Amino acid sequence: MIELHRVSKVYSVGPVKVPALREVSFRVDKGEFVVLTGASGAGKTTLLRLLYRDDLPSEGDVEVLGYGLVAMRRSEVAPLRRSIGVVFQDAKLLPVRTVYENVAFVLRVLGTPRRDITARAFDALRMVGLSARAQAYPAQLSQGEAQRAALARAIVRRPPLLLADEPTGNLDEAMAAEIVDVLKDIGAGGTTIVLATHQARLAAGLRRRTLTLEGGRVVKDEG
């Protein structure tokens, strides 16, 4: 599903070289739920960005869903991205569209038949416990509901891989717990999940395989 082999990433900021990842190697099997933790600046976001090919490593190989990401042709990037759901700290919903439309939009641009769109959008909303809020606008949602809407949008294509970068970063503990429960449900359905969080308590409470990054290195792989 995911395989990294001695992956390093160095950002150049003017004349300064910033090492973000150093010789990172690991693999994730289909259906695994992996927590990526470590302090702010440890390299979590950089690592996730390499997985959906938002950026390329400076050295090493990244394989995701059978694609070699380093040698990948441009034409393969779109199919890869369609197979990966991504959520961020900020839900990034379109403010002038309802929750339903925010989710359905993803299928519409894929050319999905109309009646399938409705059924699948509602499936995704049900999965995140938001069916009753389908006709609400983003401004009417709590931050937790907004984040669940973002999750519904990320899974509506039924991607085999879901990446979440600090999805609970803006939430209080109760709402964060809801998001974690939804992620576990999605994982139980067979979706492979990589969840990045700097919140050590939340990471520990998940009871899932946890990779700890420190200064761009994987210093622990437990669980």
Q: How far apart are CA 99 and CA 140, in angstroms?
A: 10
203 binds ligand ADP (CB under 6 A): no
* Shortest distance, position 70 Cβ to ligand ADP, whole Å: 18
* Shortest distance, position 170 Cβ to ligand ADP, whole Å: 15
* Shortest distance, position 44 Cβ to ligand ADP, whole Å: 3
13 binds ligand ADP (CB under 6 A): yes
State which of residues 14, 15, 40, 66 lies at the interface with ligand ADP (CB under 6 A). Answer: 40
Stretch that binds Mg ion, among 38-46, 67-75, 90-98, 156-164 (CB under 5 A): 38-46
Query: What string of DSSP letters covers 49-76?
Result: HHHTTSS--SEEEEEETTEESSS--HHH
Residue type for position 21: L
Q: How far apart are CA 13 and CA 91, in angstroms?
A: 28
Output the six-digit token pair for 60.
């090493």
Which x/- pattern, by CB under 5 A, does the window 44-83 give for Mg ion?
A: xx--------------------------------------
User: In this complex, which beta carbon is closest to ligand ADP, that of residue 97 or of residue 217?
Assistant: 217
41 binds ligand ADP (CB under 6 A): yes
User: In this complex, which beta carbon is closest to ligand ADP, that of residue 41 or of residue 160?
Assistant: 41
Output the six-digit token pair for 35.
């927590």
* Shortest distance, position 132 Cβ to Mg ion, whole Å: 32
- # residues near Mg ion by CB under 5 A: 2
Which x/- pattern, by CB under 6 A, does the window 42-71 give for ligand ADP?
A: xxxxx-------------------------
**Residue 57 partner contact from Mg ion, ligand ADP, none using kind-dependent CB cut-offs of 5 to 8 Å:** none
What is the distance of C-alpha 13 from the center of its chain?
A: 26
Q: Which long-range contacts (CB under 8 A, 24 or more apart) does 6-11 make?
A: 6/59, 6/60, 6/61, 7/50, 7/57, 7/59, 7/60, 7/61, 7/62, 8/57, 8/58, 8/59, 8/60, 8/216, 9/43, 9/46, 9/50, 9/55, 9/57, 9/58, 9/216, 10/58
* Shortest distance, position 191 Cβ to ligand ADP, whole Å: 22
18 binds ligand ADP (CB under 6 A): yes
Say if residues 169 and 175 touch (Cβ distance below 8 Å).
Answer: no
| Residue where the block lists tokens 């900020």 | 90
The residue ranges that bind ligand ADP (CB under 6 A) are 11, 13, 18, 20, 38, 40-46
